[in-house]
Amino acid sequence: MAPEPTPPLATIAAALRYERQRVGISLTELARRAGIAKSTLSQLESGVGNPSVETLWALGVALDVPFSRLVEPPATTVRVVRAGDGPRIRSEHADFVGTLLTAGAAHARRDVYLIELEPGRVRTADPHTPRSVEHVVVGAGRLRCGPERDQVELGPGDYATFPGDAPHRYEALAPGTFAVLVMEHP
Amino acid sequence: MAPEPTPPLATIAAALRYERQRVGISLTELARRAGIAKSTLSQLESGVGNPSVETLWALGVALDVPFSRLVEPPATTVRVVRAGDGPRIRSEHADFVGTLLTAGAAHARRDVYLIELEPGRVRTADPHTPRSVEHVVVGAGRLRCGPERDQVELGPGDYATFPGDAPHRYEALAPGTFAVLVMEHP
DNA sequence: CGCTGATGTTCGTCAAATAGAACAGCATGA
DNA sequence: TCATGCTGTTCTATTTGACGAACATCAGCG
């Protein structure tokens, strides 16, 4: 049982840079809003230094993100089942093989989409309703998708699932990419 | 949208004291395990000082608790419905009034207990299976119960629910206290 | 060209957090 | 009773994080 794997020195640096650029403000502006010296913030984003809790807290408030997001590595919420992996279920009556990707949750509404994307166009999606879940199965091409901070690359037959209530993106890496997208919300 | 309400100066102090006493080690021993000076820890538990992230992280590792537990105020996981509150449902056929306390989750197993307690004896319960939920309705007397860090006091007719997968306690505050306890685990 | 207003960086200085030891209090026991 | 070992506290010395200014760099513009 080791719930503290990574000393967060570098995590903080990466998280601060990411969250600041997500909000779209400059280092100087963020330092002003948080009420700290911009030199301090510069060093923190460079990975040097060991901020005090008050300093990091002020940055969390200014960025409007929960404190833990700045110190703990992003939770790997995306689950991938590669083509050919996963529990195989062979039908005895018909000539087909099924693979269980995700067990169906009762009383959840599911919307099914077919999405077609061309390379170079990134489709960003704002968070949906809380506790919604997205499922993707790639039909052809290559698809890069997932939560913004934890993206995965999928090929034909690959499956991925991740929460829909966090900002996430879809981006085709090859021409003629299409996928089946299931949005599940309770 | 203000996800950072409380500057965690005092929260850290309380959390450190609580978690250390939960593990059952001395201040000196914890400081030794975390590799910090015991004077530093003493000041932190006294609420003075503004620890660096490295220091607090080391304490989190030594206490074997996630970092966020030390800086964020305990999540108020206990929900209370006082006697007379809650949505009233009046039957048209019979002469009774029902109050919806919690909507039933399908496929959850429920065990119902009648617990009788006398003052002075504290009943502590270790965490049960994950995602289990406890429901309490007090019949008579006064009952103090809930997660260890977020207890509530209930009188006759009061209802409370809280997660069962965290350490929690029951303690009678008046003679002749009894309550109905429903343990719900998926 | 030089000015203005940004960007983020690197200085020196000061305050503050940390470390280490000395301390008071309270047990246990030879 | 004095010694030993622990508790947690409160000193002082030193390391270090935070501040503020000066800095290099770039962009837009008269």
Instruction: Estimate in Å the CA A30 to C1' C6 gap, whole number.
Output: 14
- pLDDT tens sequence across A100-128: 455 555 455 667 778 888 887 777 776 67
- pLDDT tens sequence across B67-104: 888 888 766 677 777 766 655 544 444 444 555 455 55
Count Cβ atoms below 10 Å from residue B40 Cβ, excluding itself: 16
Protein-proximal nucleotides of chain C (any atom < 7 Å from a CB): 6-12, 16-21
Q: State the first-to-last Cα distance of chain B, in angstroms, to the nearest integer.
A: 33
The answer, as to whether pTM is greater than 0.75, is: no
Instruction: Estimate in Å the CA A176 to C1' D10 gap, whole number.
Output: 72
Radius of gyration of chain A (CA): 20
Interface residues 9-28 of B with strand D (CB < 7 Å): 26-28
- pLDDT tens sequence across B1-33: 555 666 678 889 999 998 999 889 999 999 999
Q: Which of A52, A66, A67 sits opposite B52 (nearest CB)?
A: A52
**Residues of chain B contacting residue A12, judged by C-beta atoms under 8 Å apart:** 53
**Residues of chain B contacting residue A72, judged by C-beta atoms under 8 Å apart:** 66-68
Cα separation values, B149 from B12, B96, B118, Å: 14, 37, 22
Instruction: Estimate in Å the CA A52 to C1' C4 gap, whole number.
Output: 36
pLDDT of residue A93: 43
Q: How far apart are CA B62 and CA A29, in angstroms?
A: 37
Is B67 near chain A, with CB under 8 Å? Answer: yes
